[in-house]
Structure formats: structure tokens, C-alpha cells
Amino acid sequence: MIEPLEQAHAINPFLLPPCGGVRSKPLCPWRDPEHESYYVAIADSQDAFEKFKARMTDVVSLQQRGHFVLVVGEQRCGKTSLINRCVHWLDGALPKTGVRPVRVDLTGGAPIGKPQSAANRMKFVCERIRDELEVGDQLLTDNDLEKLAAMTDQPERFFPRLGRVLADSVVLVVLVPRIHELMDEVLDYASMVGQRMILLSESSLLSGKDVLAAADPETQPLVLDVGELKTDDAIAFVRARLARPGIYPMVADEVFEWLRNEQLKFYTIGSLQSVFSRLYGDLLENDPTYGTDRTVAPPEIVRALLRYLRENGD
């Protein structure tokens, strides 16, 4: 049995703060700074993050032209977490260069439906940006806001004008709602984004290779590709979570050997997170032996994986 003191420190290491958080949600260090320590150096995501940082270190370039960043990859592979990490990095890096990032998050609230045209979706984004700037910290004059309001259905005019009226000391960082299969939408953002702004979005259906092939070389977006989770990435993720402070069972060594031999394969970081967080949640709630003396064996993970697959219709 777990002693009372141990019970107070018994946690599910696969859940996020605060207070364990939702079972499976993206990391968001710009909202919850503690999340920064939860990122694991998984190959594709880490390479994409380094690529982003390398492109965004030229402040003069940011002031002279804008950037559209598109993160691509299959569902639940960590695209949103990568975007949030990039935004958090901008929050810390840009002020050191004398530039103030102003964040506008348009990813919450009612989603934009897939059947809409790219033009209607972009109009929605322009309207939301204009509204956010109106109630923000008075970056723009009333005259500028009025003129922008008249252009929300003309993004080819809205974005360049917005970039021109922003102060040199400001970079607007906009989290754009995810893009579905609309290639035109991606190409339009890439060609219209104004100076002094960084727009970031994601897509599960568009190929990064196809986007770059279709884009004008002069206005190509920065494409960050999050690939399939490799076995060593899965092992690194589990080991990193098990290294966090707290009292909980370990994972038996043969589980890692099994994963490395690819007898049990996880395809996305989201599915891996779901399987282990649900397994540890069930053990924490129902197993009186929950603690550091216990180990999680392969059959338990197989049962958790099968349940996950059934729940998701796979």
C-alpha cells in the first residue's frame, strides 16, 4: 500500500501542469511557462524548431518583410506544440533585440469550417486581427483601425497596410486557425503577409513538399515538417517523462527493448501520450501498489494501446 506521504506525491508523469491538466493537450509554454521543460528533443520536431530559430534571428529582415510559417504533419504529431514553442521563443528572443512581440491568438473559439473558401476564411482572420488590435494596447490610431476595417474583405490590401502602420519596434505574431486542404489559402498568406509580422498555422492534409513546389520562390512560406514518430523518439519521450519528480511506477526495461525491436509501434506523439497517460491514470486510481517499487510491463501497455485504438476507431 502507498503510505500517506507517498500518496500526496503520487502523480501521473504523463499529464501536464497545472494540476495534471487535461489528459492530452498540446504544450503551450507561452501560456504555461512550466510546459517549456516538457519538450523532448525528438528528431523532426527539434530540427524544425532549430530551423525556425535560424530563420527568425534576422531582425532587420523581420522589419522589412513578413513571414508565413506553416507546420505540416499527420494528426496529433505535435504540430500545435511546436507552434506554441516557436511563439514562446519569440517572446523571449525578440525583446533582446529591441523588438516587442505582440501576440494575437486566433486559434480559440468557434472553428472555421472546412467548406468555406480561402477568401472567406482570410476575411475572418483579418476581422479578428483588427478587433484584437482595437482592444489591445493601442498599437494603432483610430484612423488606422478605421481604414483596416474597410479592408478586411481584401486581405491583399489589409496585410500590407497593417505592416506599414506598425511601429518599427513591434513584430505582430499571429496564430492563424489551422488550414485544411486549401492550398490557395497557404499561397495567399505567404504572398500577402506584411512586414513586421509573423503568421503561423498548421495543416494535417497538405504536404510540405507540395506547398514549396506550388509557391512563388520569392514568397515561399517557411515550412516545418513534423514526421512520423520513430521508435527511438518514443523511447526518449517515455524516459523523459519518467525522469520528472514524483512517485509513480517505472517502465520495465523489456518495454524499451520491445519498442526498439518495433514489436509495438506508436505513430504520433499524441497517441503515445494518450496511451501512457490513460494507463498511468488508471493505475493511480485503481492500483494500491502504485509507487516506485512497481514496474509497468509490456502486457499492460498492449492493453492500453488496444483500448486507445478501439476508442479511436482504429
The domain that contains 255 carries what CATH number? Answer: 1.10.8
Say if residue 64's pLDDT is above 90.
Answer: no
In a domain, 134, yes or no: yes
In a domain, 137, yes or no: yes
222: which 3 cell numbers? 517557411
274: containing domain: 229-311
What was the pLDDT predicted at 276?
Answer: 93
Is residue 75 located within the same domain as residue 153?
Answer: yes
Average pLDDT along the chain: 88
pLDDT tens string 259-293: 887 656 677 898 899 899 999 999 999 999 999 99
Give the residue from 225, 258, 286 where a domain finishes: 225
Long-range contacts of 92-97 (CB under 8 A, 24+ apart): 93/53, 93/56, 93/57, 94/59, 94/171, 97/59
Average pLDDT over residues 67-83: 94
Bridge-based pairing state of the strands 197-203 and 170-175? parallel
In a domain, 108, yes or no: yes
In a domain, 37, yes or no: no
Average pLDDT over residues 183-211: 94
CB atoms within 10 A of CB 51: 15
Q: Cα–Cα distance between 41 and 53 in angstroms, integer?
A: 15
Closest CA to 219 of 190, 197, 189, 184: 190
What was the pLDDT predicted at 1?
Answer: 42
Q: Answer yes or no: are the C-beta atoms of 190 and 179 closer than 8 Å.
A: no
Average pLDDT over residues 84-96: 96
**pLDDT over 90 percentage in the chain:** 65
Is residue 163 located within the same domain as residue 274?
Answer: no
pLDDT confidence bin for 180, thresholds 50/70/90: confident
Is residue 218 located within the same domain as residue 234?
Answer: no
In a domain, 277, yes or no: yes
What was the pLDDT predicted at 60?
Answer: 74
Average pLDDT over residues 112-127: 80
Q: In sequence order, what DSSP letters do the residues of the chain get, joined into one string?
A: ---HHHHHHB--TTSPSSTT--SS----TTT-GGGGGG----HHHHHHHHHHHHHHT-HHHHHHS-EEEEEE-STTSSHHHHHHHHHHHHHHHGGGGT-EEEEEE-SSSSPPPTTS-HHHHHHHHHHHHHHHHHHSS--S-HHHHHHHHTTTT-HHHHHHHHHHHS-TTEEEEEEPPPP-S-HHHHHHHHHHPPTTEEEEEEESSS-HHHHHHHS-GGG--EEEE--PPPHHHHHHHHHHHHTSSSB--EE-HHHHHHHHTTSS----HHHHHHHHHHHHHHHHHH-TT-STT-EE-HHHHHHHHHHHHHHTT-
Is residue 67 located within the same domain as residue 139?
Answer: yes
In a domain, 192, yes or no: yes
In a domain, 28, yes or no: no
Give the residue from 202, 225, 248 where a domain finishes: 225
pLDDT confidence bin for 21, thresholds 50/70/90: low
Say if residue 65's pLDDT is above 90.
Answer: no
Is residue 116 located within the same domain as residue 216?
Answer: yes
What was the pLDDT predicted at 20?
Answer: 66
Kindly tell me the sign of the dihedral angle through the C-alpha atoms of 75, 79, 81, 87.
Answer: negative
Is residue 165 located within the same domain as residue 291?
Answer: no
Give the residue from 193, 225, 257 where a domain finishes: 225
Is residue 208 located within the same domain as residue 298?
Answer: no
pLDDT confidence bin for 2, thresholds 50/70/90: very low
What was the pLDDT predicted at 18?
Answer: 77
Say if residue 4's pLDDT is above 50.
Answer: no
Count of the separate structural domains present in the chain: 2
What pTM did the predictor assign? Answer: 0.91
What was the pLDDT predicted at 228?
Answer: 83
Is residue 124 located within the same domain as residue 51?
Answer: yes
Say if residue 59's pLDDT is above 90.
Answer: no
Is residue 214 located within the same domain as residue 250?
Answer: no
Closest CA to 16 of 233, 272, 273: 273
Is residue 97 located within the same domain as residue 80?
Answer: yes
Is residue 233 located within the same domain as residue 298?
Answer: yes
In a domain, 21, yes or no: no
Is residue 77 located within the same domain as residue 181?
Answer: yes
CATH code (residue 207): 3.40.50
